Amino acid sequence: MQHLLTEAQETPTAALDYAQGVSEVRTPEHLVPLREVVRRQNRSELNALFAAINERFGATEPVIGVFYAAGEMAVMAEVGRSDLEPQDRRLLRQLWAVLRHAQSGPDVKETL
């Protein structure tokens, strides 16, 4: 999962603007059991990713929870990659990918 740490460090500052427009991040109901497994069994990976996000954007940033949620779902996609349906893997990576490719300027936000 080293690549997620690298991706966190490379996420553009414009992602902060995008994150301000995100009102809610919710794990799909059928993937909640995987989320619980990841939280129990992959805590060190999650903590390392959260630390990388904090280093990049600062833990006091008001929208940091959006990054944490997106990161957690990206870890879920990695952990469950061999068992997940392709559409579930894409869904879990979607917000992380959007944040990673955020651009500055008007009207750049997508609907997820």
Asked whether the predicted pLDDT for residue 109 surpasses 80, the reply is no
* Per-residue pLDDT tens digits for 84-100: 999 999 999 999 999 99
Task: Yes or no: say if 78 and 57 are a contact pair by the CB < 8 Å rule.
Answer: no
Residue type, 52: A
Task: Yes or no: say if 52 and 8 are a contact pair by the CB < 8 Å rule.
Answer: yes
* Per-residue pLDDT tens digits for 6-61: 999 999 999 999 999 998 999 999 999 999 999 999 999 999 999 999 999 998 88
Q: Burial code of 48-59, b = ≥16 C-beta within 10 A, e = fewer?
A: bbbebbbebbee
